[in-house]
């Protein structure tokens, strides 16, 4: 895999005729557990990954942004002070959205020539859009003279861009885990307070990410509908968000059957995230695997965000890993990737078995990524 920083630097030279002033980078993320609870004020446990987005930049004094997307061979140009919607949700919308939303939050934004590229598979549930936004934000802030930007402030601007410029009513998990996380470790995020805590993963463990080959689309309304379901359930329960509800309340309330299922997933998933942190701290990979299995069943049965190919891949992966680890879907759902945690000495065997037994809907061997744990 080409290192994105090198590709961004070389692409910048070819596009703009000389070297950039710097290169900003933001990783993608894989969510270990805590799905669809971030916009409910819950707890999540994501992990930054090695793949990510690189933005080579050089400041401009005229307040313009001239950009090239190296992966698409496409360009964009606009005034920093007045970015206008393009009418489509593509990389330009996120670029312009970040410029507008950073300025709206009082963050520094400088004019710049930029070249951007990435190594995160799009539609895989690994936060390619959030990685893009955070990398762009770091580059524009640097062009505006800032040595660094507060991760929370930058994350909120990136969330604003998703909401207002891509019409995805996402929570804060993706942006904050990317902006505040550390390579090789998970980060526990309280999505209500925005407090973060590094959670060291045992160095003898590895995280495997397998692409299902089912392209995931959140802008088609699935994600927003699930969020609306949760808001209706919270209102019916008389709580601000489902973070404040208990399972006993959910079971006792006169809820619509769908609302009850959605609420049950969120309340139990928050509890599972807390339990997962305890299991990691105790190096109890057997318990963590059991928690993963419960989480996937909840996403399938109560939140209804898995698809048959994902369920099949999870079953194959969980069977290959065995009791010392586990697997679950990761990301917003309706396709994307599956994540598994296992002991490192099992990685080669599991990877080989999955390559032999699973084929994507296109009949291809699934791409597999391995993330080492730093301890």
Q: Which residues are catalytic?
A: 174
For residue 370, what are the β-bridge partners?
A: 208
Whole-angstrom distance, CA of residue 116 vs CA of residue 40: 32
Separation CA 53–CA 8 (nearest Å): 9
Going from the C-alpha of 134 to that of each of 2, 25, 70, 260, 363, the distances in angstroms are: 20, 8, 17, 35, 34
Two tokens at 186? Answer: 């998970």
56's enclosing H/E stretch is: strand 43-60
Using DSSP bridges, classify how beta strands 111-118 and 64-69 pair: parallel, antiparallel or unpaired.
parallel
| Tokens linked to 87 | 């009418």
Q: ∠ at Cα 194 (191, 199), nearest 5°? A: 85
Spatial distance between the Cα atoms of 287 and 193, rounded to a whole number of angstroms: 28
Beta strands in 166-280 (DSSP E): 185-190, 196-200, 205-211
Tell me which DSSP letter residue 305 carries: -
Beta bridge partners of 339: 209, 328
| Nearest C-alpha neighbor of 21 from the set 138, 153, 177, 184 | 138
Question: DSSP for 122-162?
Answer: TTSSS-HHHHHHHHHHHHHHHHTT-S---HHHHHHHHHHHH
Phi, psi dihedral angles at 283 (to 5 degrees): 55, 35
């Amino acid at each position: 895999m080409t290192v994105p920083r090198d590709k961004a630097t070389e692409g910048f030279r070819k596009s703009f005729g000389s070297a950039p002033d710097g290169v900003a980078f933001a990783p993608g993320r894989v969510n270990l557990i805590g799905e669809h609870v971030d916009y409910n004020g819950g707890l999540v446990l994501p992990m930054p990954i090695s793949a990510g987005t690189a933005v080579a930049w050089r400041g401009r004094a005229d307040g313009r942004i001239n950009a090239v997307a190296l992966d698409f061979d496409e360009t964009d140009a606009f005034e920093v002070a007045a970015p206008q919607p393009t009418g489509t949700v593509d990389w330009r919308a996120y670029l312009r959205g970040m410029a507008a939303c950073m300025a709206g939050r009082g963050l520094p934004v400088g004019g710049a020539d930029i070249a951007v590229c990435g190594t995160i598979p799009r539609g895989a549930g690994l936060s390619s859009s959030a990685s893009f936004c955070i990398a762009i934000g770091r580059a524009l802030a640097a062009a505006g003279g800032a040595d660094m930007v507060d991760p929370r402030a930058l994350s909120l601007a990136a969330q604003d861009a998703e909401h207002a410029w891509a019409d995805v009513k996402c929570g804060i998990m993706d942006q904050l885990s990317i902006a505040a996380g550390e390579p090789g470790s998970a980060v526990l995020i309280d999505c209500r307070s925005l407090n973060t805590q590094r959670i060291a993963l045992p160095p003898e463990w590895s995280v495997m990410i397998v692409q299902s080959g089912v392209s995931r689309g959140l802008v088609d309304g699935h994600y927003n509908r699930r969020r609306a379901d949760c808001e209706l359930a919270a209102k019916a329960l008389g709580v601000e968000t489902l973070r404040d509800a208990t399972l006993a309340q959910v079971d006792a309330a006169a809820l619509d059957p769908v609302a009850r299922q959605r609420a049950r997933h969120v309340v139990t998933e928050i509890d599972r995230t807390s339990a997962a942190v305890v299991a990691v701290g105790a190096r109890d990979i057997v318990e963590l695997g059991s928690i993963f299995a419960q989480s996937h069943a909840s996403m399938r049965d109560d939140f209804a965000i898995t698809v048959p190919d994902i369920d099949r891949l999870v079953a194959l992966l969980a069977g290959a890993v065995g009791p010392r680890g586990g697997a679950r879907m990761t990301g917003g759902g309706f396709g994307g990737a599956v994540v598994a945690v296992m002991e490192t000495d099992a990685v080669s065997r599991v990877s080989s078995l999955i390559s032999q037994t699973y084929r994507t809907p296109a009949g291809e061997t699934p791409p597999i990524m391995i993330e080492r744990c730093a301890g």
